[in-house]
Amino acid sequence: MDRKRMIYLDNNATTPTDPRVVEAMLPFSMNTRQCQAAITLFGWVAEEAVDYAREQIANLIEVDSKEIIFTSGATESDNLGLKGVFEMYRRKGNHIITVKTEHKAILDTCDHLEKLGAEITYLEVNREGLIDLTELEAAIKPNTILISVMWANNETGTIQDMKTIGDICAKHGVLFMSDATQAVGKIPVKPKKVGVHIMAFSSHKMYGPKGVGALYVSRKNPRVKLTAQMDGGGHERGMRSGTLNVPGIVGFGKAAEIAKNEMTQDAERVSKLRDKLETELSKLEEVYLNGAKQSRMPHVTNLSFKHVEGEGLMMTFNQNIAVSSGSACTSASLEPSYVLVALGLGDDLAHSSIRFSLGRFTTEEDVDYAIQAVAQGVNHMRDLSPIWEMYKEGIDLNTVTWSEH
């Protein structure tokens, strides 16, 4: 196998910037030696470019361009959405409903709001990562102001039933927010059609530059108001002050335009590659799919290889395949992913999981190479594993007493 070949299968972490996006940004990377007159002219050009990008992004998700608020990324958008609603609607209530498998940008912000007096309900998910809609409706109380459910999960690709959740929110007069970072630009995401009022997303997850994101905020039916979290010159309809990142926004706009035009064929192509990867790796013994088989993103698969430690498996790839393991480095210990634990996986399967997220630039050769490398790695690690040997001999590992020495 070619040890120098670099295979990137971690597109849920970040996507490579599309060369067409870089090309669109170049004219806005200012040459500081230009004269003052040119800089003044640049101001007008920049303003027009930002307006155009706002339209490109609004077109992608089929909203009014005035409903797009630019931020530094989805984390800031999540913070602005949650904190902005909590402060603005505090007289109406303090109860927010969210899900245990949300991104940390949502969970940590909710944790912060709890300290300020918010009451947060965290919904459980089933083995596929889907919430129970009856449970969601039962959790709504007279003081509920917001329900925040991510469109597609970053670890498993599971897509929630957004339309039904939107209908429940409308029925009870509750605002509906979604972190749609993993979905926008990859599948059709139309917040107005499903009843989402506030939606966070990011440029660098859809082949645009890092450091720029957006928050969709509904202007009518209902008109949503948010308390600004960044005070200053009153930019972005007063919701987010600060000089705009013009090159980043231009790139974000171009990325949105490309996504609108190419999303369908991109999804069709990568889903076939994803299915090939999944089918071939499932030929190994004791391989489990984590999350939903049907209701999921076209480019993601999360697989557990029983009795193979995920971090260790990644070491066998000679660092030339980029994927994510189901363990997160927190301090000195390797904790299993809280998302996989919420799905009901035991520590053994959670620790043995790998997330493969394909993208626009993934080739069939990349997938073939990955299949071969992962299969070799799994077999190699199982050959060295006394636990796998015991498992193969039919010993019930739950009954084994492990010695300290």
Residues 42-72: b if buried by 16+ CB within 10 A, e if exposed: beeebeebbebbbbbbbebbebeeebbbbbb
What is the rounded distance in angstroms from the CA atom of residue 341 to the CA atom of residue 20?
40
Phi, psi torsion values for 123, nearest 5 degrees: -80, 145
Phi (first) and psi of residue 293, to 5 degrees: -80, -40
**Dihedral over alpha carbons 205, 207, 212, 217 (to 10 degrees):** -60
Cis upstream peptide for 336 (omega within 30°): no
Closest among 298, 309, 384 to 353, alpha carbons compared: 309
For residue 109, give the nearest of 90, 122, 124 by alpha carbon: 122
329 labelled catalytic: yes
Cα 213 to its chain centre, rounded Å, is 13
Which residues, other chains included, contact 108 with Cβ-Cβ below 8 Å and sequence gap of 6+? none
Neighbours of 113 (CB within 10 A): 19
**H or E element: which one contains 116?**
none
> Residue 221 burial (CB < 10 Å; 0-12/13-18/19+)?
exposed
CA-nearest of 199, 203, 204 to 178 is 199
Name the active-site residue from 35, 110, 169, 329.
329
Residues labelled catalytic:
329
